[in-house]
Amino acid sequence: MATRVEVADEQAGARERERPQKPSRDERQPRPNPLREGLRLERMAEPCTMVICGATGDLAERKLAPALYNCLLSGSLPPEFTVVGFARRDLSDEAFRAHLLEGINKFSRNRPAKPAIWDSFARGIEYHRGDFDDPAAYVELATRLDRIDRDRGTAGNRLFYLAVPPALYPEIVNHLDRAGLAAAGQRRRRGTKRGWTRVIVEKPFGSDLESARTLNHELAEVFDEEQVYRIDHYLGKETVQNLAVFRFGNGLFEPIWNRRYIDSVQITVAETVGVEGRGEFYDATGALRDVVQGHALQLMAIFAMDPPVEFHAEDLRDEKLKVLRAVKPMSPAEVATNTVRGQYVSGWVEGAKLVSYRDEPEVEPDSQTETFVALKLGIDSWRWAGVPFYLRTGKGLPSRVTEIAVQFKQAPLALFARAGVPQIDPNVLAIRVQPDEGILLRFGAKVPGQGMQIRTVNMDFRYGSSFAVDSPDAYETLLLDAMVGDASLFTRDDEVERAWEILDPILEAWQAGQGGPLHFYGAGTWGPPAADELLERDGRAWRRP
């Protein structure tokens, strides 16, 4: 009698023989552009099934379940939409539904779940128990998805979300391929009735250039690049999306968005927390890999890019890539001059004691991993030549804040100096990504009364107060984008590799002891004094958000 695995291998082989070969890049047809009918208009996803690999983990509970529920509330999901959780734990459909409901009731911006809406949503939620290294589990998954297509009318459209460690990506995608679950997008291009297939992968996208190239190659062996959606939740935040409208939709700002008027740019991604029980992961990663490689460089690229030909995903990502390509990688000597790495020691943050990083569980007692990094980058392009971009990120800092601060060049002072005003602060435009999403403009104004006194004042725009609606969570935006096939806010393979080309020399210099010492800073401060000195050498100072 054939074993279960032998039967699975035979069924998978049949699917492999039936599956058409992957077309070349020249054969691919351009995807429809959902933005041509307007800038990010409200849309409804096509009927589809979302398969969450690693469905019993924190990500599914804290982010994915609340995001899907809120998409349903907003009318963005069709009645046929179905969720299949795929994980190792032995759960029933009912137990898995209870797990997602708990996440919605704890973490959704619209909580608790409304019973009638939840009951409707829950009817389209199933659980598939299986080991990720078991070929039979994928064959059984394929059978389940075919049945869902027939019973719920999901038309063969499938979105696979890999909510698992990146080390498991190659194994999972190869098993999906052997089970015939990765080829639906290719069938559709060849004129069959089968729907689309897409896969979402979470960061980190590699740990250096070599590993990123390997991961991209392994994904490309199974999926076309247009099927792969590399998710960075920062790019789904409302303010990041609004950057394009702010710049290209306002005649006031685009003409001055260049080296003639901008003195410098600061990008801050600050966290108040420590490693939060992820000591083993963080000690092997560090702040440069964890935040700068994705969040900070992506924010810089979106901020600095030239206008795209149109709001099409490939045009937007082409412009971001041009920015990253214009960033010159550093020599070891430049790393020592233009970067600062730090590690927090015990201190108080928001009234709570934070232990030293080296005292965190699963962290080496002599760890050299950075929890803070500040660096100075230059973009060698016509628009930005000579404008320094200062990036910093850290854990255990006084405030949880992400912002882009633009300092404009100083106004000529001769007129005001003769009037007895010795100095005027430069204008600053602060684009707040979180927590209070909005835009602040700081400029000088005369103080009422006799004489000439100038004081800095603020004009402050906030999404919450201006529009009186809650901004959607980043995962709501990004999941819906993946379902409608809009990759504008996702990272392309060449962007990922170029980011590592910028950062690899920094990591190598640090590891070789050529990039300067590891500095220590107290939790609850804005990093080591060396980070302040990085800007003071240029006659500038960090903005305190």
Q: Parallel, antiparallel, or unpaired for β 82-87 and 125-129?
A: parallel
3-state secondary structure of 154: coil
E strands in 163-287: 197-202, 228-231, 262-270
User: What's the per-residue H, E or C state across 156-198?
Assistant: CCEEEEECCCHHHHHHHHHHHHHCCCCCHHHHHHCCCCCCCEE
519 is catalytic: no
Closest CA to 427 of 445, 447, 410: 410
Closest CA to 163 of 276, 83, 87, 222: 87
Contact between 384 and 258 (Cβ < 8 Å) = yes
The token pair that represents 110 in the structure block:
């619209």
E strands in 355-424: 372-378, 388-394, 401-408
d(CA 496, CA 230): 9
Contact between 132 and 164 (Cβ < 8 Å) = yes
The token pair that represents 478 in the structure block:
């990004």
The token pair that represents 459 in the structure block:
């004009």
The token pair that represents 284 in the structure block:
């092997």
The token pair that represents 86 in the structure block:
């795929």
Q: How many angstroms separate the Cα of 318 from the Cα of each of 32, 311, 313, 345, 494?
A: 17, 11, 9, 41, 10
d(CA 243, CA 249): 10
Identified catalytic residue from 99, 128, 295, 312: 295
Q: Give the length of the chain.
A: 545
Catalytic residue positions?
A: 295
